[in-house]
């Protein structure tokens, strides 16, 4: 049976042999260099008094840091500030689209000819000025908010740089703990091999069993650390991608603020001038058309008045036709009066004759009545 001192010799071999075994590891995959041996040995000391609890806690502090950086990175990827910034850009576009110079300057109402034309320009200009000022205020507010987001993105680029350096360091530290774990696995395997060469009894068998159990646990723990190291390796390009996206957004905001919006305002000013120029031409044309129409109407009215005046001047005070009509009417009137008089005289003569006959009839009746009734004595 191997004594405890012999086991100690196996587990605490000369450091030079451990260094040789370290260099035989795949240092490149672990992100290590030969000069990192001292750090590996420091981590290896944590497994000196190895037990199930020690294995479970091995590299836990590094794993926790890696998990923290992963959570922070996820929060950056899903950061609501980016969504808010994108929303602000959409609002800038929507506000700009609402400013329709053509529809504003072309508004008009029929309120008389010159009054309608003049009120059209005055009202359209006031409406546009009010609408443009409101739109400009909205854009200015949005630009300030975008500038704030831009500042935040710039600051976040610096934070990501620090995170990148920290993740790189964690990647290396994980490699250190993985290398130390692998060396400890070799130590355990050497102990198991040494025990198996001894005469087997209950104690030796139990030691071999315990060492195999620890070896399995340590192998599982080292595998977990390798997964975390791979995750850290994947995190590094993710950080650079996010940085690149942030920088592109910063550049985009700069272009919008210093190039796009000034150019847009210039184009709006040109659109206003061109629209006003167009409306001015339309106003001048309308005035010319009205002037010509008034001249034509006045000329026609002058012609008609002149003709009517000349006709009136050449006409006699009393037309011959009127005299003839008056004379004929007078003759007819006289004839009608004479005829009526004749008819009246004839009717009166007939009436006299009839009245006389009635009188005679009445007298005759009276006389007859007088002869038939003699007077009383």
- Give domain limits for the chain: 4-299, 328-360
The Cα 245–Cα 227 span in angstroms is: 27
Q: Centre a 10 Å sphere on the Cβ of residue 47 and count the other Cβ atoms it contains.
A: 22
Q: Which two tokens stand for residue 130?
A: 């009010």
According to DSSP, residue 256 is labeled I
Whether 109 contacts 119, CB under 8 Å: yes
- CA-CA distances (angstroms) from residue 295 to 19, 24, 376? 114, 111, 114
What pLDDT does residue 332 have? 92
CA distances in angstroms from 172 to 19, 149, 230, listed in the order given: 18, 34, 11
Overall pTM surpassing 0.85 (yes/no) = no
Directed axis angle between helix 80-98 and helix 113-196, to 10°? Answer: 160
Residue 60: count other Cβ atoms within 10 Å of its Cβ. 12
Of 254, 245, 261, 226, which is closest to residue 151 (Cα–Cα)? 254
Q: Tens place of pLDDT for every residue, the chain, 377 residues?
A: 334 444 444 444 566 777 788 877 878 878 888 888 888 888 888 888 888 898 888 888 886 766 666 666 666 655 545 556 566 666 666 666 665 555 444 544 444 445 555 555 555 556 656 666 666 676 677 677 777 777 777 777 888 888 888 888 888 889 899 998 888 898 899 888 988 888 878 888 898 899 999 999 999 999 999 888 888 888 888 888 888 888 887 888 788 778 877 777 787 778 778 877 887 888 888 888 888 999 999 999 999 998 888 887 887 777 788 888 989 998 999 999 999 999 989 998 999 999 899 989 988 888 888 765 555 54
* CA pair distance 147, 143, nearest whole angstrom: 6
Collect all residues with Cβ–Cβ distance below 8 Å to 218 and sequence separation of at least 6: 47, 50, 55, 58, 181, 184, 185, 188
């Amino acid at each position: 049976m191997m004594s405890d001192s012999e086991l100690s010799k196996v587990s605490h071999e000369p450091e030079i042999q451990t260094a040789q075994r370290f260099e035989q590891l795949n240092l490149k995959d672990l992100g290590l260099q030969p000069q990192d041996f001292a750090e590996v040995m420091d981590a290896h000391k944590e497994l000196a008094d190895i037990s199930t609890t020690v294995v479970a806690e091995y590299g836990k502090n590094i794993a926790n840091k890696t998990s923290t950086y992963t959570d922070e990175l996820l929060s950056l990827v899903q950061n609501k500030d980016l969504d808010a910034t994108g929303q602000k850009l959409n609002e800038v576009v929507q506000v700009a689209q609402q400013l329709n110079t053509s529809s504003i300057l072309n508004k008009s109402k029929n309120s008389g000819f010159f009054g309608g034309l003049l009120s059209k320009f005055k009202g359209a200009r006031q409406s546009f000025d009010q609408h443009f000022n409101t739109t400009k205020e909205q854009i200015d507010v949005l630009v300030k908010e975008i500038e704030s987001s831009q500042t935040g993105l710039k600051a976040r680029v610096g934070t990501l740089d620090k995170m990148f350096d920290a993740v790189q360091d964690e990647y290396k530290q994980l490699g250190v703990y993985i290398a130390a774990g692998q060396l400890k696995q070799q130590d355990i395997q050497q102990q198991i091999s040494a025990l198996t060469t001894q005469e087997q009894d209950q104690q030796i068998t139990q030691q071999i069993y315990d060492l195999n159990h620890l070896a399995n646990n340590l192998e599982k723990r080292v595998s977990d650390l390798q997964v975390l190291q791979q995750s850290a390796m994947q995190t590094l390009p993710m950080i650079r991608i996010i940085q690149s996206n942030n920088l592109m957004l910063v550049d985009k905001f700069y272009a919008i603020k210093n190039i796009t919006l000034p150019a847009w305002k210039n184009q709006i000013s040109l659109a206003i001038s061109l629209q006003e120029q167009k409306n001015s031409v339309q106003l001048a044309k309308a005035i010319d058309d009205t002037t010509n129409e008034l001249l034509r109407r006045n000329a026609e009215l002058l012609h008609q008045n002149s003709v009517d005046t000349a006709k009136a001047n050449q006409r006699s005070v009393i037309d011959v036709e009127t005299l003839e009509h008056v004379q004929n009417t007078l003759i007819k009137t006289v004839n009608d009066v004479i005829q009526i008089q004749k008819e009246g005289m004839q009717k009166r003569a007939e009436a006299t004759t009839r009245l006389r006959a009635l009188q005679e009839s009445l007298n005759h009746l009276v006389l007859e009545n007088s002869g038939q009734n003699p007077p009383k004595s």
